[in-house]
Amino acid sequence: MTEETHQLKSIEETEAFARAFAEKTTAPCMILLKGDLGAGKTTFARAFIRYLLNDAEALIPSPTYTLIQEYETPRGILRHFDLYRLTAPEEVYEIGWEDALQNGIALVEWPENLGYLAPKDALTLAFSPDPASDEARTVTIWGRD
């Protein structure tokens, strides 16, 4: 299992990192986004989705309340999950989890709430804010190559 770390100094660098990451991403792929509130997960997800939609101005709502947002992209369906409000791992089966495991690209915020259902072959990005700056963060990546 390889691991790499990236230092991002601003929101713009986080967005550029997300676009570069999206450029290299092919389906099927599940990407788990870990980190506390305000760590940069949603900033990354929005830039990633906008890149795949080829629309820098696309409105990308947070799926905090809906738990999932789906987008049709030139690379196939992209599902953006926010599992913050899950109270039990099995609840993901009510929102199309099986489809996300089989096809398309999935971005999953708060994957810790999946518990034992977290896919072992997913790619994980862990976001850590820099206490010295509101915009800087460290992103550590591990998982499938």
Residue 107: per-residue pLDDT? 95
Give strand pairing partners of 33. 109, 125
Pure H helices in 25-96: 41-53
> What are the sequence ranges of the domains in the chain?
9-57
Residue 30 parent element (H or E)? strand 29-34
Reported confidence tier of residue 77, pLDDT bands at 50, 70, 90: very high
Task: Name the least confident of 5-14, 75-84, 94-103, 126-135.
Answer: 94-103
d(CA 95, CA 76): 18
pLDDT at 31: 95
d(CA 13, CA 39): 14
Whether 80 contacts 69, CB under 8 Å: yes
Question: Stretch 90-109: mean pLDDT, rounded?
Answer: 87
pTM of the predicted structure, to 2 decimals? 0.91
